[in-house]
Structure 1
């Protein structure tokens, strides 16, 4: 397998080299046996982490899936990607994370956000930033064997936990306020804001503003970039593989960040978005997006094009993790195992 030698180093403020880490997003829309096989292959290839989507009506339960992965892998880190405070009480979340950390031998991480498909498919709005902040604080306190205050004002702690569970918390960040908040309170940030240099530069400006407001050194925050991945000998087919994932990212943008025809396309996606097609491969709203937007939010193309795009993102000194999300859904017959094998052979081996 080629993946073990593909990490790209970055320099910290003290001159030390830190390896770039490659993650894989998992949409548990397939039987768990299939998901386990995919993640075991990802581990063999050299992926550093797995991020399992939490969207209860579109995917299998995130914590059940993570438990299955924990007992069928040995090295790869495991994370929610991402959970949220509206359907997950902080005590339930902390208990699940601590148990999974124990089961996996200390390999758990947690991605947390305000919620998108997991709430929209229930007819609920995203959690407010204050709710997210309180959720993160309570989960962190419980994992540290401390007493936490819950939304109803009641206070309690986990009595079963014998020692602190060291589970890093990453905050999913799309807009400026959430990005700034994540930089203030989380261990890491997951940027779902595109891959173009100007978009990532803007995101890091927001991170820097948030960290500075809290008197925090931004270098202490682990920064991940969420990257839709499409791979095919035909560049157009590769772009089509990621359009639905880019459309999901577009739902968390401000149309005023775009101009002209692109702004109109963004508005059209946001007006026509079908929540129950969020995990699908053939979403009606995805075809609206022009190629230029797809190219700014995803890495998609021939093996040569994917290698170039991935190398460019991984060379950025301000990113610690690159999390790839290939399309895999219940309404499509995407061969994820085949895609991972080709990614290993044609991308990682030659990166």
Structure 2
């Protein structure tokens, strides 16, 4: 179900959010998304059920979709423990796992911990890849991956799990380009008018770095809705609220009055309701502080089918390889079908790390 290079994530906001779903629910949703033609099933590592337990349940109930963390971090989980957990999910799924990792946000705040530094993230990627190095006996191994022979190597590994770095700032994006298999960007973390420039900068770093020539993913974690704007706000309230919580209030050029409103929102944000679409306290707080219009304009896309197709085409032109399916899926499926008619998959296209490839599991 790949179209013109763009693959599709399912969106949790249409299901009531991850906070409100059990591991059993996750398995059923993952199976449904696979049947509907989605390509990725991501799962967050924050206030929800344990991400690896849920991913294991999804892996056991599906056969095709790629699945992974969305995202974890090296501060709240040890890199070796993370490597062991995602490799176990990969084994259960038959080689369909990926690891989304960044410097942390909500999980760190909930645990009273600072975000990881770029240096810590670099070190974590080196440790995780080193733990996977026995995969060199079973599959081609990119030359540019840094290995520490002093790190314990898992004897049972047959596949190096692809790593995607989530980063909104240049230091993290450079780590993705130099050390990982892809970059995750949330729509709105970079103002849309600057997105193409940022992506090109990352691709240039990739081309100049130690892993030049290796396949590379660019994933835009989008919130999109087809239909009435007010209904769209109801659907996309949860992801918009969570992204507003993670916004940098010291972003250059931000209006000082807006900065104070954002800081107040982040102080009053209820982490127990993080990612919930059913309990709307955080969403209502956006309206109370009069920043809802700004946040929906920045972090959500609401339009008709024609506009959604144009957005897909624009993202693909920028070099994006994956994004979220629009909601609600009944209306969104039409936009996806129209896009895929106009941009069919090129069978000769260069594979990305997450496209199905032969392996020895």
The TM-score range, normalised by the shorter chain, is 0.7 to 0.9
Residue from 11, 14, 18 that aligns with 1:28: 18
Q: 1:133 to 1:172 in 2, by over 3 A?
A: same
Q: Does 1:165 align with 2:156?
A: no
Q: Does 1:200 align with 2:188?
A: no
Gaps of 5+ in 2: 136-145, 340-361
* SS at 2:161 equivalent: coil
* SS at 1:145 equivalent: helix
Q: Does 1:224 align with 2:224?
A: no
Please give the alpha-carbon distance, in whole angstroms, between the structure 1 residues aligned to 2:167 and 2:55.
Answer: 22
* SS at 1:156 equivalent: coil
Q: Does 1:40 align with 2:42?
A: no
Residue from 262, 274, 279 that aligns with 1:278: 274
2:312 aligned partner? 311
Higher relative contact order (CA 8 A, sep 6+): 2
Q: Check conservation: 2:130, 2:152, Cα contact below 8 A.
A: no
1:118 aligned partner? 107
What is the CA-CA distance between 1:312 and the residue it aligns to? 4.2
Deviation per CA, 1:11-44: give whole Å up to 9, x if none.
xxxxxxxx32112255532123322222212111
Q: Does 1:136 align with 2:122?
A: no
Q: Check conservation: 2:131, 2:151, Cα contact below 8 A.
A: no
Please give the alpha-carbon distance, in whole angstroms, between the structure 2 residues aligned to 1:64 and 1:321.
Answer: 25
Deviation per CA, 1:103-161: give whole Å up to 9, x if none.
111111110111111111111111111111111111111112289769xxx742223x1
Q: Check conservation: 2:185, 2:219, Cα contact below 8 A.
A: yes
Note the aligned Cα RMSD (angstroms).
3.1
Of the structure 1 ranges 115-124 and 138-147, higher mean CA displacement relative to structure 2 is found in 138-147
1:96 aligned partner? 85
What is the CA-CA distance between 1:69 and the residue it aligns to? 0.6
* SS at 2:195 equivalent: helix
Please give the alpha-carbon distance, in whole angstroms, between the structure 2 residues aligned to 1:157 and 1:95.
Answer: 10
Of the structure 1 ranges 288-297 and 105-114, higher mean CA displacement relative to structure 2 is found in 288-297
What is the CA-CA distance between 1:267 and the residue it aligns to? 4.6
State TM-score, norm by structure 1.
Answer: 0.78
What is the CA-CA distance between 1:225 and the residue it aligns to? 0.4
Q: Check conservation: 2:233, 2:296, Cα contact below 8 A.
A: yes
Number of residues of Structure 1 aligned to a counterpart in Structure 2: 315
Please give the alpha-carbon distance, in whole angstroms, between the structure 2 residues aligned to 1:291 and 1:237.
Answer: 14
Gaps of 5+ in 1: 10-18, 327-338
Q: Check conservation: 1:112, 1:170, Cα contact below 8 A.
A: yes
Please give the alpha-carbon distance, in whole angstroms, between the structure 1 residues aligned to 2:266 and 2:310.
Answer: 27
Residue from 300, 310, 313 that aligns with 1:298: 300
Q: Check conservation: 1:148, 1:157, Cα contact below 8 A.
A: no
* SS at 1:255 equivalent: coil
Please give the alpha-carbon distance, in whole angstroms, between the structure 1 residues aligned to 2:192 and 2:80.
Answer: 39
* SS at 1:256 equivalent: coil
* SS at 2:71 equivalent: strand
* SS at 2:222 equivalent: strand
